[in-house]
Amino acid sequence: MNDLRLEFVDSIAGIGEEPWNTLAGKDNPFTRYEFLWALEKTGCTTQSTGWEPHHLAVYGPKLEDATQKLVAVMPLYQKTNSYGEYVFDWSWASAYQNYGLSYYPKFVTAVPFTPSHGTRLFTDESANKTDIAQLIFEKLQEKAEALDASSWHILFPTKQESEMLETIGIPARTACQFHWFNRDYANFDEFLQTLNSRKRKNIKRERQKIAERGTTFETIEGINIRPQHWDIFYQFYQSTYMMRGMQGYLSQDFFIEIGKQMPEQLFMIIALDGEKIIAAALFFKNSEKAFGRYWGSARDYQFLHFETCYYQGQEYCIEHKLKSFDSGAQGEHKIQRGFEPITTHSNHWIANQGFAQAINNFLDEEKPHIERYKAEAASLLPFRKES
């Protein structure tokens, strides 16, 4: 590892679009350069929002011309709060405060405001990923000491990455989400036939209520999303947060920017009452999966959320032969609609040894509860039992 060089970069622009995407690729819409740069460019990830970029770039051995090849990149933020993470550590921060210690700043490797799992450390084929992770861990511990940062949290990595991080000394944590899987259904009715009679009737009843109201739906691919669509979508998006007394994390400029930079990975589903748009949901996609992320409506219509965000998304996956549908965080209500529990992962290093031991004990105690919750959720799935 002596011939590797690591840099902390205060903007992803310091790494550049081509070098970042060469390593990270574009299939995951949330870790491609365009998405992360749009967050920075439009002021969503800054020091003032508590998401200050500190991205990592690792360079390999010197080449013949004395330059060094970029061999790894990792998103990294210095955080002064725990908002927009979806792996909750508020109780850890409170415990620190109770002992007169500061939990913030901390380091977080994640996609801001996006609870979707995926690769977090991107490496060149020639690089040893474990060696690079070990180097990053060593340098981050030094950086944390210099900045008096409490910890480093890697949120929603792949299972393989989480296991690798655990081997180098960063304890693992698990949680549960609900995803839908397209088992080569020809249409939505074929999916419904896999459900037990009662759940199938419930879904049909919900969809019928929407149809009887006269609500229709239109799917707009990213390239066809117009300024007027973004305007009304953003009003709906903010209204969802305002009902909880909050402001949405993301700006309208951010949505417009990703609409320009990565339209091929976006689609919007709008609900209409005649010609009036009454709800909208924004989805992302890649070659295999749809991601439901943001939604809002003019007012609370019964079953409209389920139809716009779930059933329409499931139909899109079937029509476009996408294998799965990640509908975001939370949601026991998704189980009866065919969304299955999956395990998500995170890893957490705590600088303070006393707190590290206490949190590691908590993680050990929490794990069987998560496994039991997942098993109980799976037992409630509405699929017909094979005879």
Contacts of 40 (CB under 8 A, 6+ apart): 11, 12, 13, 46, 53
Q: What mean pLDDT comes out for the span 45-55?
A: 96
Chain segment 310-331, per-residue pLDDT in tens: 999 999 999 999 999 999 887 8
Mean of pLDDT over the chain: 94
Q: pLDDT over 90 for what percent of the chain?
A: 90
Integer CA distances (angstroms), 344 to 159, 226, 341, in order: 8, 35, 10
Q: What is the pTM of this model?
A: 0.95
Chain segment 60-107, per-residue pLDDT in tens: 877 666 578 999 999 999 999 999 999 999 999 999 999 999 999 999
Structure tokens at 145: 């000491």
Q: What is the pLDDT of residue 243?
A: 67
Where helices occur in the chain by DSSP H, the ranges are: 17-24, 33-41, 90-98, 129-147, 159-167, 188-192, 197-212, 227-242, 252-261, 304-306, 312-320, 353-379
- DSSP code of 346? E
Confidence class for position 124, pLDDT limits 50, 70, 90: very high
* CA proximity to 161, closest of 139, 190, 132, 138: 132
Q: What mean pLDDT comes out for the span 280-285?
A: 97
Enumerate domains of the chain plus CATH numbers.
Answer: 5-175+343-377 (3.40.630.30), 183-322 (3.40.630.30)
Q: What is the pLDDT of residue 330?
A: 78
Report the SS3 class of residue 260. helix
pLDDT of residue 364 exceeding 70? yes
Chain segment 132-174, per-residue pLDDT in tens: 999 999 999 999 999 999 999 999 999 999 999 999 999 999 9
CB 181 within 8 A of CB 323: yes
Confidence class for position 205, pLDDT limits 50, 70, 90: very high
